[in-house]
Amino acid sequence: MLAKRIIPCLDVKNGQTVKGINFEGLKEIGDPVEMGAEYSAQGADELVYLDISASLEGRKTFTDLVRRISERIDIPFTVGGGISSFDEAARLLDAGADKITINSAAVYHPELIGQIASHYGSQFVVVAIDARTNGPEWQVMTHGGKKETDRELFSWAAEVQDRGAGEILFTSMDHDGTKNGYACEAYARMSSFLTIPVIASGGAGSIEHIEEVLTKGCADAALAASIFHYGEIKIEELKRRLLADGVNVRI
């Protein structure tokens, strides 16, 4: 059985790691390269960097940042945030990113998944899915969770896999930011029919929550931001606890 992964996520704006609530009230909290290096030293398995700078200048800054990260950090890292074309994905992969993640563009231009995968390989393509419950079903959302779509979570996940994605990063909007735990039943259902890894995002507030989504939720990896950024949970402590409880992680 493959080891479960712990993945800190860093939002980046104009070259700095930022944190806020629903992208409002953003505060700079540190240099993304230094923070990434610290997480690597603590034992993180991978990192995710999301560019939330919308301007063209922001894109250039982020590409330069990716080069700096690749020179400094020796664990795999994924980059994303508004990638809408093959050329944008290629620029970031060529700058040194190990993987790219696409979200809204995958929904509206699903052929993009296959374009990137056929050129670079499926292992380079992570499709991020944001969804919320709508009655008995999970509805896929885009544009940072602001725009509704007619996509249903599980059928979309299956299509994403069929189109060549190497991983899925699913965020439950109902759980995101609550620190009340992940949507474990949804992750378990998704993992039951997919053959590609599933990364869980949204709801981490404790070591118990992370352990639950990796076991009961059958997720292959757990992603979190605030709990790591503000030192609420140390990765070393988290992994020691997981290992002691029988969860296969790399120490």
- What sign has the CA pseudo-torsion 137, 182, 79, 27? positive
Q: Is 11 a catalytic residue?
A: yes
Q: Are 80 and 100 in contact (CB under 8 A)?
A: yes
Q: Is residue 47 classed exposed, middle or buried when 0-12, 13-18 and 19+ CB atoms within 10 A define those classes?
A: buried
Q: Are strands 5-13 and 221-224 parallel, antiparallel or unpaired?
A: parallel
Which one of the listed residues 98, 130, 176, 220 is annotated catalytic? 130
Q: Is 45 a catalytic residue?
A: no
Neighbours of 152 (CB within 10 A): 15
Measured in degrees and rounded to the nearest 5, phi and psi for residue 4 equal: -75, 150
CA distances 131 to 103, 117, 128, 176, 190, Å, are 11, 24, 10, 10, 13
Radius of gyration of the chain (CA): 17
Q: Considering only CA atoms, which of 115, 110, 103, 202 is closest in space to residue 143?
A: 103
β partners of residue 133? 138
Q: Are 12 and 50 in contact (CB under 8 A)?
A: yes
Q: Considering only CA atoms, which of 30, 32, 44 is closest in space to residue 74?
A: 44
216: which DSSP letter?
T
Residues in CB range of 180: below 8 A, 6 or more apart: 203, 205, 209
- Residues designated as active site: 11, 130
